[in-house]
Structure 1
Amino acid sequence: MQKILAKTLFFSISASASLLVSTGNLKANAQNQSFNNNEITSYAQAVLAMEPERQQAFGEIKKIVGNGEVPQIVCSEPNSLNNLPGRARDIAVNYCNHSQKIVSDYGLTPDKFNRMTVEIQSNADLKQQVYNALIRLQKNTNSQ
Structure 2
Amino acid sequence: MTSASLLGGWVPGLVATPTAWSLSHGSAAWAQAKPAPVTAEEISNFVRSALSMEPMRKQAVQEIQTVMNQVPTIRCDLPDGFTSLEPRVRGVAIKYCNASKRIVETNGLTVGRFNEILMVQRKDEKLRDRIQAETCRISPDVCK
Q: TM-score, normalised by structure 2?
A: 0.80
2:44 is matched with 41
Listed as ranges, the gaps of 5+ residues in structure 2 are: 16-21
Structure with higher RCO (Cα < 8 A, 6+ apart): 1
Q: 1:27: how far off? A: 2.7
Whether 2:4 is the aligned partner of 1:10: answer yes
Q: Which runs of 4+ in 1 moved over 3 A?
A: 22-26
Q: TM-score, normalised by structure 1?
A: 0.80
Q: Structure 1 78/14 Cα, relative in aligned 2: closer, same or farther at 3 Å?
A: farther
For the aligned residue pairs, the C-alpha RMSD in angstroms reads: 2.2
Q: What CA deviation, in whole Å up to 9, does each residue of 1:31-62 have, x standing for no partner? A: 44311000001000000011100000011112
Q: Which has a greater percent of helix? A: 1
Listed as ranges, the gaps of 5+ residues in structure 1 are: none
How does 1:1-144 map onto structure 2 within 5 Å? Answer: 5=1, 7=2, 9-17=3-11, 18=15, 19-21=22-24, 25-29=29-33, 31-66=34-69, 69-139=70-140
Query: Percent identity, aligned pairs only?
Result: 26
Q: Structure 1 54/113 Cα, relative in aligned 2: closer, same or farther at 3 Å?
A: same
Query: Could you tell which deviates more after superposition, 92-101 or 121-130?
Result: 121-130
Aligned residue identity for 1:73: I
2 CA distance for matches of 1:25 and 1:80?
20
* Equivalent residue pairs, number: 132
